[in-house]
Amino acid sequence: MARLGVNIDHIATLRQARRTFEPDPANAVGIVERAGAYGIVCHLREDRRHLNERDLRLVRELCKSHLNLELAASDEIIEIAREVGPDVCTLVPERREEVTTEGGLDVAGRLAALKKAVERLAPIPVSAFIAPVEEQVMASLDAGFTAVELHTGEYANARPGPERDERLARLAEGAETAAGVGLYVAAGHGLTYINVAPVVELGVFSEYNIGHSIIARAVFTGLEEAVREMALLVG
């Protein structure tokens, strides 16, 4: 059965829209866990646009399931990660001007720096958020990552039809290559209640990390129901 990681950044985004105290992302942890998710995912960005260190520390304390911390390979955030001790770290590219994480990490192009980041995070296992491209998969293995998360954004942005089918096939190929060399393989970004089914049907991913669509639905259904519905779709 595949696992669902629920990204709770968007709860903090809503709080930050008013720079107030609610909604508090820490309050989501127990609800998400009760609803059947495998774990919590959150991203401490260098610009702290949603989650801050106080949130991360509280989430770590409250999370009894599995905490996946997304971070850029920056010295400051790596230091915080080492101190807080998530169950897994996912290295992502980060640009201040982007609305969300736009592309995959160029592991092949930054092999030495990323290898160092993985070593500094040890013994925390580290996943690389990459495009479904063989070169990036093999570079991730070389850099010491034990897992990859394939960026599903290109697939998610395509309309149903030949272009989307082709992007889906690329995801399947990337996942098979990664699993074939012993990497744990997750998928994430832009997945929704509607577009997740064809990805799940591939049967190649061990985990799905989903945020925006779940939090958006939670506005209408409540978080527990929203997570439960997504867990049913991916599991």
> Judged by CB, which is closer to ligand PXP: 87, or 162?
87
Q: Which residues face 90 on adjacent strands?
A: 70, 127
Cβ atoms within 10 Å of 76's Cβ, excluding its own: 11
Shortest distance, position 81 Cβ to ligand PXP, whole Å: 14
Annotated catalytic residue within 70, 94, 149, 154: 70
Cβ atoms within 10 Å of 152's Cβ, excluding its own: 25
Binders of ligand PXP: how many residues, by CB under 6 A? Answer: 19
Residues 27-46: x where in contact with ligand PXP by CB under 6 A, - otherwise, as a string: ----------------x---
Based on the shown chain and the rule CB under 6 A, indicate whether residue 188 belongs to the binding site for ligand PXP: yes
Q: Is 181 helix (H, G, I), strand (E, B) or coil?
A: coil
Shortest distance, position 201 Cβ to ligand PXP, whole Å: 19
Output the known binding site for 3-amino-2-oxopropyl phosphate: 7, 18, 190, 211-212
The total number of residues written for the chain in this structure? 235
Is 66 an annotated catalytic residue? no
Among 31, 92, 118, 199, binds ligand PXP (CB under 6 A): 92
Q: Is 79 helix (H, G, I), strand (E, B) or coil?
A: helix
Based on the shown chain and the rule CB under 6 A, indicate whether residue 178 belongs to the binding site for ligand PXP: no
Contact 73, 114 (CB under 8 A): yes
Helix (H) or strand (E) holding 18: helix 9-18
Output the known binding site: 7, 9-10, 18, 45, 50, 100, 190, 211-212
Residues with Cβ within 8 Å of residue 79, at least 6 apart in sequence:
none
- Residue 122 φ/ψ, nearest 5 degrees: -55, 140
Is 173 an annotated catalytic residue? no
Q: Which residues form the catalytic set?
A: 43, 70, 189
Residues at the interface with ligand PXP (CB under 6 A): 7, 9, 43, 70, 90, 92, 100-101, 129, 149, 188-191, 209-213
